[in-house]
Amino acid sequence: MKKLRILFLITEDWYFWSHRLPIARAARDAGFKVLIATRVHRHKERIEKEGLKLIPINLARRNRSPVKILLDIIEIVKMYRREKPDIVHHVAVQPVLFGSLAAMISGKTAVVNALAGLGHVFVAQDVKTRLLRRIFLAAFKLAFCGKNVIGIFQNPDDLKIFVDLGVIKSEKAVMIRGAGVDLNLFAYRTEQTDIPIVLLASRMLWKKGIGEFVEASRILRRSGVGCRMILVGIIDPESPASINEETLCKWHDEGIIEWWGQRDDMPEVFAESNIVTLPTTYGEGIPKVLIEAASCGRAIVTTDVTGCREIVRHNENGLLIPPGDFKALADALKYLIENPQIRAKMGVQGREIVEAEFSEEIVVRQTMEVYKKMLLAKNKSSEIKR
């Protein structure tokens, strides 16, 4: 009997590996033939060792000319016609928009459109971005209009926006909160260091609040607060919001922050830290780094924005501050640095929240239920046509 085929369309292989691998493993173990279409950088061997078929593609990130977009969509159409997936699982904005159109053209496949946050376009209020938002909304309406299409949203704010604006019908929208976390890998650990370490782990992008983190570090230093301010993460030169290496090295050399670069041992990085922060101004889904930090028992300081407030509850497992306010960030960090008993209590509460609501097991189970529902709908549709 021929195996059912599920194809993940996702921009980067590292993002698949960090955010969607458990779901792909569960689909594989349930008997699916699992295909991963993505830009390949350094995870080729890892993905293939999992028994997953890797299909290299090259979706445009910076070159978004109409010609390049058209060529990308044609490439995806050809791939769908060649591979004949029963389900395509599009992850993030670009795969959702391009992949949905390709699925309409190629036909005969169920579509899962998963949005991991709505990004800058749905946050900024300048005239240009508001116009761009209208274009995106029209494109999303097209992406979600198919009969056998389900949208997965990570937080209630994003889901409500799309339903209220008529982009998707409520019965076709599902909320699955984040990418989940392996509770055993990201285990609860008590604090180890004498000098508090404040950790910000993300891609090195301005919109992730790196600038506010640096300014808060300056304030804490001038105030004589003893701590180490650590940045962990890669430079993303294809993003217009990327911070260049020269700037990061300059801050590091001046002693304002320490930049540790990319780390593949994040459980150990969290174990070394005392406080985790993400002062993002970006339209997040639910930041995986905050779920992991809470799982490891770390108090968190983050901005009171969509996604972040889903995992961080103010004065329970962390503190919420206004976006863009580096003084508020410095005050919140100072408070936790000077009150180790409070942050320890917050760490315990954070672990309990993750165990109850954000475990990998929960996310995988809910996603597999979506696949089952879609296959049932697809089979019913085929029977009616007969």
SS3 10: strand
Identity of the residue numbered 208: K
Identity of the residue numbered 342: I
SS3 8: strand
For 312, the token pair is 């961080």
118 vs 73, 92, 133, 386, CA distance in Å?
A: 21, 8, 10, 40
- Structural domains present in the chain: 5-180+360-385 (3.40.50.2000), 197-357 (3.40.50.2000)
90 neighbors 111 (Cβ within 8 angstroms): yes
For 133, the token pair is 């938002």
pLDDT of residue 384: 46
According to DSSP, the β-strands at 53-56 and 228-232 are unpaired
The pTM assigned to this predicted structure is 0.92
136: left (phi over 0), alpha (psi -120 to 50) or beta: alpha
DSSP state of 172: G
Burial 335-360 (b: 16+ CB within 10 A, else e): ebbeeeeebbebbebbbebbbeebbb
184 neighbors 265 (Cβ within 8 angstroms): no
Give φ, ψ of 88 to 5 degrees. -115, 135
Residues contacting 114, CB < 8 A, separation 6+: 89, 90, 91, 92, 96, 151, 152, 176
Write out the DSSP string of 124-153.
Answer: --SHHHHHHHHHHHHHHHHHT-STTEEEEE
Residue indicated by tokens 């180490």: 228
For 94, the token pair is 């670009």
pLDDT of residue 187: 98
pLDDT, one tens digit per residue, over 320-357 is 999 999 999 999 999 999 999 999 999 999 999 999 99
Identity of the residue numbered 140: F
Q: Radius of gyration (Cα) for the chain, nearest Å?
A: 21
For 354, the token pair is 């993750």
Distance separating alpha carbons of residues 96 and 142, to the nearest angstrom: 10
pLDDT of residue 123: 63
Work out the end-to-end distance of the chain between its first and last CA atoms, rounded to an integer number of angstroms: 21
**Residue 152 buriedness (CB in 10 A; 0-12 / 13-18 / 19+):** buried
pLDDT tens sequence for the chain (386 residues): 678 999 999 999 999 999 999 999 999 999 999 999 999 988 999 999 999 999 999 886 666 688 888 999 999 999 999 999 999 999 999 999 999 999 999 987 999 999 988 766 666 667 777 787 888 889 999 999 988 999 999 999 999 999 999 999 999 999 999 999 999 999 999 998 789 999 999 999 999 999 999 999 999 999 999 999 999 999 988 788 899 999 999 999 999 999 999 999 999 999 999 999 999 998 789 999 999 999 999 999 999 999 999 999 999 999 999 999 999 999 999 999 999 999 999 999 999 999 999 999 999 999 999 999 999 877 765 544 54
pLDDT of residue 121: 65
